[in-house]
Amino acid sequence: MRVPMTEYLFIDLDTERWICRVCAHDFGDARGNYKEGTLVYDRDPREIHPPVIDPEKYEFTFSPDPAFCRILEFYCPTCGTQIEAEYLPPGHPPTVDMLWDIDSLREKWEARGDNPEEVVNYGPGENAVTDLSARFDSVGGHTHGKAGH
């Protein structure tokens, strides 16, 4: 049984592993920090948020100051999907953003008796109905449909 925990991450309750919903890459122990299974890149924030006013003339430009702010990009090592983008001060440890009680998670889903990949959606409203099943089960890798709009 695989539970969609984020847009790109399953927890496989049978194996107790974090896995990529896109390509099935194994990120590690579901009781631990999925980030430990990712590739990380320290992005200069000016590359993502380009200046609107001339950085040669001005200190404040619409671009974050790299001495204050870095963007850590977390990638799936197999498919290259960007799973998280974390804004941090330079040198600050990456945040362990999610730790789940796997026994409790299993208990809840076993009590429900249905398949998480089929019943989890983005919330109320017909636009929020989506397919959160494993993309790697479909033929051809990135052939998932566009959600919603």
138 binds other proteins (CB under 8 A): no
Residue 57 or 139: which CB sits closer to other proteins?
57
Q: Which residue in 119, 131, 137, 138 binds other proteins (CB under 8 A)?
A: 119
**Lookup: tokens for 141:** 């890798």
Which residues, 78 to 97, sit near other proteins by CB under 8 A?
Answer: 78-97
Q: Which residue in 15, 44, 110, 122 binds other proteins (CB under 8 A)?
A: 122
136 binds other proteins (CB under 8 A): no
Q: Which residue in 111, 113, 123, 143 binds other proteins (CB under 8 A)?
A: 123
Which residues, 29 to 48, sit near other proteins by CB under 8 A?
Answer: 35-42, 45, 47-48
**Lookup: tokens for 77:** 């090592």
The dihedral of CA 60, 63, 65, 69: what is its sign? positive
Under DSSP, is residue 28 helix (H, G, I), strand (E, B) or coil?
Answer: strand
110 binds other proteins (CB under 8 A): no
Closest CA to 66 of 94, 88, 92: 88
Instruction: Give me the phi and psi of 8, to 5 degrees please.
Output: -120, 5
Q: Least distance (Å) from other proteins to the CB of residue 5?
A: 5
67 binds other proteins (CB under 8 A): yes
Bridge partners (DSSP) of residue 21 are none
Do residues 3 and 116 lie in contact, with contact meaning Cβ atoms separated by under 8 Å? yes
14 binds other proteins (CB under 8 A): no
141 binds other proteins (CB under 8 A): no
Do residues 35 and 94 lie in contact, with contact meaning Cβ atoms separated by under 8 Å? yes
